[in-house]
Amino acid sequence: MIQPLKSAPSVWSLCWVDLPEPLPVEKDFFLPTILLLVGPTFEPLAPPTIFHELDQVEAEEWLAHHFDELGVPDQLSVWKAPEWILEEWKYFGRDWKTKVKLVNPPPHEARLQFDLAGLSGDNPRVPSFPKSALAEGLVRNVPRLRSPGKRRSTLEKAVEIDPACTAARVELAELEFQAGRYEKSLELSAQIEEIERPLLRRRGVRWWTDRTTRPLLRALFGTMLCQWHLGRAAEAAEMGHHLLETDPDDHMGARFYVPLLLLLAGENEEASLFFRHYAVRYPGDMPHAWLSFAWGLTLCLEGDDQGARQKYREGIMANIHIAPRLLGERPPPEDIYHPSERDEPNSAVEFTGSFGGLWDREAAALRVLRETHEEMGPALGELITRRRALVDLMDQRYDPDYRANWTRMVEEEEAFVKKALE
Show contacts of 385-393: CB within 8 Å, 24+ apart: 386/412, 386/413, 386/416, 387/336, 387/337, 387/338, 387/413, 388/333, 388/336, 388/337, 390/336, 390/337, 391/335, 391/336, 391/337
Q: Please tell me the predicted confidence (pLDDT) of residue 20.
A: 87
317-376, pLDDT tens digit by residue? 999 999 999 999 999 999 999 999 999 999 999 999 999 999 998 999 999 999 999 999
- pTM of structure: 0.87
Burial class (CB in 10 A: 0-12, 13-18, 19+), 328: exposed
* Confidence band for 151, pLDDT divided at 50, 70 and 90: very high
Closest CA to 291 of 275, 267, 305: 275
Alpha-carbon span 21 to 29, nearest angstrom: 10
Q: Please tell me the predicted confidence (pLDDT) of residue 286.
A: 84
Q: What number is the average pLDDT over the span 124-141?
A: 84
Q: Which residue has the higher pLDDT, 260 or 8?
A: 260
Percent of the chain with pLDDT over 90: 84
Q: Which residue has the higher pLDDT, 378 or 2?
A: 378
Please say if the pLDDT value at position 110 is more than 60.
no
Please say if the pLDDT value at position 123 is more than 60.
no
Is there a contact between 158 and 22 (Cβ–Cβ < 8 Å)?
no
Q: How far is CA 299 from the centre of its chain?
A: 34
Closest CA to 177 of 187, 168, 167: 187
Q: What number is the average pLDDT over the span 157-179?
A: 97
DSSP state of 21: S
Q: CA angle, corner 388, sides to 383 and 393, nearest 5?
A: 125
* Confidence band for 112, pLDDT divided at 50, 70 and 90: low
52-62, pLDDT tens digit by residue? 999 999 999 99
In the chain, domain spans: 11-118, 286-422
Residue type, 35: L
Is there a contact between 399 and 405 (Cβ–Cβ < 8 Å)?
yes
Q: Please tell me the predicted confidence (pLDDT) of residue 8.
A: 58
* Confidence band for 284, pLDDT divided at 50, 70 and 90: confident
DSSP state of 119: T
Question: To the nearest whole number, what is the mean pLDDT of the chain?
Answer: 92
Q: How is domain 11-118 classified at the CATH fold level?
A: Nucleotidyltransferase; domain 5 (3.30.420)
Alpha-carbon span 101 to 103, nearest angstrom: 6
Please say if the pLDDT value at position 86 is more than 60.
yes
Phi/psi of residue 382, nearest 5 degrees: -65, -40
CA of 184: how far to CAs of 101, 128, 142, 208, 222, in Å?
37, 33, 20, 25, 11
Q: Please tell me the predicted confidence (pLDDT) of residue 5.
A: 41
Please say if the pLDDT value at position 404 is more than 90.
yes
Antiparallel, parallel or unpaired: β 75-79 and 99-103: parallel
Q: How far is CA 394 from the centre of its chain?
A: 26
Q: What number is the average pLDDT over the span 368-397?
A: 95
Q: How far is CA 390 from the centre of its chain?
A: 27
Is there a contact between 293 and 309 (Cβ–Cβ < 8 Å)?
no
21-78, pLDDT tens digit by residue? 899 988 899 999 999 999 988 888 998 999 999 999 999 999 999 999 999 999 999 9
Please say if the pLDDT value at position 132 is more than 80.
yes
Q: Please tell me the predicted confidence (pLDDT) of residue 101.
A: 96
Please say if the pLDDT value at position 394 is more than 60.
yes
Q: What number is the average pLDDT over the span 214-241?
A: 97
